[in-house]
Structure 1
Amino acid sequence: MFATVCHSDVVSHVVRQVASREQLRHALKQGLTDEANGIPVVRSTVVRETNGQGDLDMTSNTTDSTSPQSTESKPTSPWRSPTVQIVLAATLLAPLGVPLVSPTLPVFRDAFGISDAQASLLISTYFLVGIVLSPFIGMLADRIGRRTVLIGGLVVFSLSGGAIAVAPSFEAVLALRLIGGTAAAGIFITTVTLIGDTFEGTQRNAVLGMNNAVLSAGAAIFPLVGGALATVSWNVPYFAYLVGLPLALYAVRHLEEPSHERDSQGIAYLRRAVRVLSGTDALVLYGAACMTELLLFGAVVTIMPFLLEGNFGMSALAIGIVLAISETSSVVVSAKNGWFARYLSNYGLIAVGFACYAVGLFGAWLVPTPVGITLSMLVFGVGLGLSMPAVDAAISDLVSAGLRGGALSLRNSTTFLGRSAGPVVFTGIAAITGYYPLFVASAVVALAIALSVLSMGVIRARRVTHVEEPA
């Protein structure tokens, strides 16, 4: 009896205090994790990272993403870390791809003497390669390292974007956009993967939230920059891409590859990835990522401007302000995602986020006035700030480090798929049902997803509790 109690105490201590990989393997043998299958359950790590001023210790305890994050440890602030600085700067460049370019499409069309449909190919070709090639880029990041893929992505993104300014033909521009979209996918994937590799628990949520806040802020600001630069000439905005080259040079000198064992390669890698990522948990998370973008780009970005202009005669500037309010609330809440993660699990944050989508979309139907719709979009933006970083954190928790690049690359594919399909799906349905019934139906779908994600979180929490019970 005494031996059994002692054994239980030792196992509990290992689960809480494990810091080295050898100890983690010992815990794995006790059945406390399933990391051999790419699914960590409970672990504690110490991340050491050089910040140019000495070693920075960032200790954090992490449990399964279905339970509220531990607040007992007080990790060192990550914001002085070169990794975080480089990741956030790279993320800020990402909106150069579409938000900077979108306002310039009419000027670009006139400069090349093409149709509206042809000019729109600058956007669709950029997203298309992200859908198709993201999984392969994720596999590459797992195989050769995140650092190499990110630096290469920054260089190619900058050069291909800058080269558009001197492109001799429309066909050359499209070819460069395909190359740039591929590089952008590498940046999207590796930035989030680096955060997942480097941080744990609430600190991971905090950095992912700030990463999403930076992305949203760039998406709100760059359309103004692109529009202003395009008044000079159609090609001037593309010179902005070249700012990525100094960042790539800085990353060469200061970005370190996270220390982790690389997973199996080739067929073995694919077999493990399929086994882990075809499970119910992964499918729910990827579905949540896709539906978030589908609702955002379909209901908000595409349908809402048509409704505001057609029903209320609002100007483009007024419509932009309404959409900017949604982005603003998303930025504020995203930046505080780590704080929310102290009290809710990642699944809980995603569920509340989708509930906010439902409230926002239902509110647009219930109070069909400019003020009512603006307040509804404010709530929708809160949902974005809660759910988007939590999805990335939950996917990062779902797999081992050796599969994380591949796992997050699939999230990138589903994200781009939702962005591409949203405008087409929602405009097609709206032509049959009208705007307001579509908002109600979308709210019902969002609420159903919220309940599904919440149920999945409860199931996982019970499973983890059962695993943690001492023998």
Structure 2
Amino acid sequence: MEKRNLTIIFLITLMAVMGVASITPAFPSIIRHFNISPPQVTKLIIVFTFPGIFLAPVVGILADHWGRKTILLPSLLLFGLAGTGCFFTKDWEILLILRFFQGIGAASLGSLNVTLIGDLFSGEKRTEVMGFNASILSVGTAAYPFIGGALAMAGWQYPFLLPFLAIPTALLAIFYLKNPEPGKPQKLKDYLRRTWKNINKKTVWGLFIINVLLFVVLYGAYLSYFPQLMEERFGATALQIGLFMSGFSLVTAITSSQLKRINSRVTPKAQLNISFMLYLVSMLILSVTSEWWHLIIPLITFGLAHGMLIPGIQTLLVGFAPLSERAGFMSINSMVLRLGQTFGPLFIGLFYTLGGTEIAFAGGAIVSLVMLVVSRFMVKI
């Protein structure tokens, strides 16, 4: 049963990261097809992540009240249907509308997968599974750019066929996911009071802020402007862009899979600070690189940072709430990271308008420094 549960959780994780990673290699093709600018194409990210800002806390509360599956299944189905619908439209405005509805479906996926791990496992086993889940997440973010880039060689719309995989995932969850569900629902007032008590801690707020900034770097700088950098500076094709983006994520996957071993040698606080410095190095190099081989260093440093930071933060946060409030608590984390995903492209886009990709990645370096400051003064672990 444990193996079956883990397989389904990992499939949910793969769906949660599909929505952006699979389509970014097609951005240059989409820009040309619709005759839009690089900042405009990032709307495909913004409208997808925006619903999660408001819906994530709601679906978290409902998952604690009605049960995990009750929220998970319609979310997967909507994600799959709206996402696949993007393949069939030729209109930019309709494409954005479908991405918005796909984002509604995705709003719960990134928190419920981690919530299920927290429900099913504890102690060192939880840390180990979080590392494996982050590794699976990174395998997805490694594979999707390559798959999306290969599909985009046939046409900009072909990466939008991938969300259909969420439909069989929903069917598997219906019949085979065996997870504990919260007991008798609490009164809403008591539930909100207890959840707020779990959240209202300086370290938790610090981790939430770091999560916002982390996704500003990931979605604002890397996912939005790395494809543009490769086409502008190196004349790269969609497939080549996907291959390089997969390289970043492959390093992340390997690092995440070793989280248990890393934890035995490096304290959680040190892991955070090392990650921020590695992000800084990668952003600075990407801002000035002019040779293909220069990309090897940010490939490694960004991958190492991401591989430590994502599962590290998730493991720390999931331990702050009991099962009865865990979905609501983790949905707040999902909400704040959606803030980073949504406003990251807008924020880094301001730097892009000032000086192109060079200044965009310099903006990412500034955000990396801010993460280090927040960790120094707010995170006490």
Same fold (TM > 0.5): yes
Q: CA deviation at 1:226?
A: 3.2
Paired position in structure 2 for 1:8? none
Out of 106, 110, 124, the position equivalent to 1:184 is 106
Is the CA contact 2:206–2:375 (under 8 Å) kept in the aligned structure 1?
no
Sort the Cα spacing of 1:204 and 1:351 in 2 relative to 1 into closer, same or farther, 3 A.
farther
In the alignment, structure 2 segments of 5+ residues that lack a partner are none
Tell whether 2:316 aligns with 1:316: no
Aligned pair in 2 of structure 1 residues 200, 252: CA closer, same or farther (>3 Å)? same
In 1, are the aligned partners of 2:276 and 2:369 still within 8 Å (CA)?
Answer: no
CA contact (8 A) 2:83 2:102 kept: yes
Paired residues, what number? 375
Counterpart in the other structure of 1:445: 370
Contact in 1 for aligned 2:279/2:365 (Cα 8 Å): no
Comparing 419-428 with 295-304, which one deviates more in the overlay? 295-304
* CA shift for structure 1 position 141: 1.0
| Residues 262, 402 of structure 1: 8 Å contact kept | no
Change in Cα spacing, 1:380 to 1:449, as seen in structure 2 (3 Å) is farther
Distance 1:87 1:341, change over 3 A: same
Q: For 2:119, which of 171, 177, 197 is the aligned residue?
A: 197
* Secondary structure class of the residue paired with 1:316: coil
- State the identity as a percent: 25
1:64-463 aligned at under 5 Å gives the runs 81-104=3-26, 115=36, 120-166=42-88, 172-230=94-152, 232=154, 236-261=158-183, 264-302=186-224, 313-317=233-237, 322-361=244-283, 371-429=293-351, 435=359, 438=363, 441-452=366-377, 456-457=380-381
| Structure 1 residues 118 and 372, CA gap change in structure 2 (3 angstroms) | closer
Whichever structure has more helix as a proportion of its residues is: 2
Cα distance in 1 for residues equivalent to 2:251 and 2:118: 24
- Once residues 232 and 380 of structure 1 are traced to their aligned partners in structure 2, the CA distance between those partners, rounded to angstroms, is 30
Aligned letter for 1:203? K
Q: Residue type of the partner of 1:316?
A: A
Give the secondary-structure state (helix, strand or coil) at the position aligned to 1:342.
Answer: helix
Q: Which amino acid aligns with 2:324?
A: G
Q: Which has the higher mean CA deviation after the structures are superposed, 141-150 or 199-208? A: 199-208
| One-letter amino acid of the structure 1 residue matched with residue 235 of structure 2 | S
> Conserved in 1, the CA contact under 8 Å of 2:145 and 2:243?
no
* Alpha-carbon RMSD: 3.4
Paired residue type of 1:245: I
Shift of 1:138: 0.9
CA contact (8 A) 2:248 2:302 kept: yes
Between structure 1 and structure 2, the one with the greater Rg is 1
Q: Which amino acid aligns with 1:395?
A: L
Which structure's relative contact order is higher, taking Cα pairs within 8 Å and 6+ residues apart?
Answer: 2
Alpha-carbon offset, residue 375 of structure 1: 1.1
- Quote the Cα distance in structure 2 between the aligned partners of 1:216 and 1:432: 32
- What is the letter of the counterpart of residue 380 of structure 2? M
